[in-house]
Amino acid sequence: MKTISAWLLWLWVSLVIVGAFYYAPLAEGFQGGSSRILFFHVPMAWASFAGFIAAAVWSVRYLMTRDLRHDRSAYVAVQLGLVFGVLATITGAIWARIEWGAYWNWDPRQTSILISLLFYGAYLALRGAVEDPEKRARLSAAYAILGLVVTPFLYWIMPRLTFSLHPEPVVNAEGKPKMQSEILQVLMASGIGFTALFFWLHNLQTRIQALAERKSAAREQGYGS
């Protein structure tokens, strides 16, 4: 079953890549083929965002049950959220170079994603500084939840402070997507693909993490070399 779903995910993401280059038309008003980055950049940012929300949800579940498996899930979600966040930042910077002429412009969205990344980098620093697993889980869960309370302010404050050149979000203030239907179809398919990819990676990484923890615990007890 797991193999089949992994192959299905592979097929789905391959179809998205093909669709992004051969099915969806170019959006108007962009340099060359640069608008195609939309199909990868936006879902990456979305997956990163989903990772951070998932981390906070798992942190709440940890605090309610005190089951260390939830803490591990939250930790892996932050790791993956950071990976997707860095990828979204890099793809965004490449696109900005083509479209705006410079890799980094302190655009509100660039600033807010950078600060979110800083926050979750700090989360990892905190985990590194506490040895006892229970205490580490407790403190980092509290910090992850605090992150979800504080970071939305950035997305609210930043656009007011500086003028943004960033294209309209997929769903704008009127709540309607303004896109050609083919572009929207590929974007939505890509979003689903990236979300599935996130949870597939999350599953793999949590299992690897659990094995690593068991291995070090066994080593402490004197088994193995």
Partner 1 sequence: MLQVTSTSAAETALPLRFTWLSEVVAVFVKDWRCEFRTRYALNTLALFAFTTMVVVSISLGPIGIDRARGTKVLPVLLWVILLFSVAAGLPRAFVQEEESQTATALRLSATPSALFCGKLLYCLTLVGALELLVTPVFVTLMNLEVVSPALLAGTLAAGGYGLAVGSTLVAAIIAQARTKGTLFSVLAFPVLLPLLLLVVELTFNAVAGGGGGVALSQLLLYDASVTVAGLMLFPVVWNP
**Of the candidates 109, 62, 75, the residue with the CA atom closest to the CA atom of residue 89:** 109
Q: How many Å apart are CA 126 and CA 133, to the nearest integer?
A: 12
Q: How many Å apart are CA 149 and CA 136, to the nearest integer?
A: 20
Size of the site for partner 1 (CB under 8 A): 30
159-181: string of b/e by CB count within 10 Å (b at 16+)? Answer: beeeebeeeeebeeeeeebebee
Q: Is 173 in the site for partner 1 (CB under 8 A)?
A: no
Q: How many Å apart are CA 59 and CA 181, to the nearest integer?
A: 38
Report residue 105 as tokens: 């412009």
Q: Is 138 in the site for partner 1 (CB under 8 A)?
A: yes
Q: Is 176 in the site for partner 1 (CB under 8 A)?
A: no
Q: How many Å apart are CA 63 and CA 141, to the nearest integer?
A: 7
Nearer to partner 1, 63 or 192 (CB): 63
User: From the list 42, 55, 80, 141, which residue makes contact with partner 1 (rule: CB under 8 A)?
Assistant: 141
Tokens 């979305």 belong to 46
User: From the list 53, 115, 208, 218, which residue makes contact with partner 1 (rule: CB under 8 A)?
Assistant: 115
Q: Is 53 in the site for partner 1 (CB under 8 A)?
A: no
Q: Is 19 in the site for partner 1 (CB under 8 A)?
A: no
Q: Is 28 in the site for partner 1 (CB under 8 A)?
A: no
CA angle centred on 45, ends 40 and 47, rounded to 5°: 90
CB of residue 205 vs partner 1: minimum separation in angstroms? 24
**Of the candidates 151, 164, 80, the residue with the CA atom closest to the CA atom of residue 118:** 151
CB of residue 115 vs partner 1: minimum separation in angstroms? 6
Nearer to partner 1, 18 or 157 (CB): 157
Nearer to partner 1, 8 or 115 (CB): 115
Q: Is 135 in the site for partner 1 (CB under 8 A)?
A: yes
Residues interacting with partner 1, by CB under 8 A? 63, 115, 118-119, 122, 125-126, 129-131, 134-135, 138-139, 141-143, 145-147, 149-151, 153-154, 156-158, 160-161
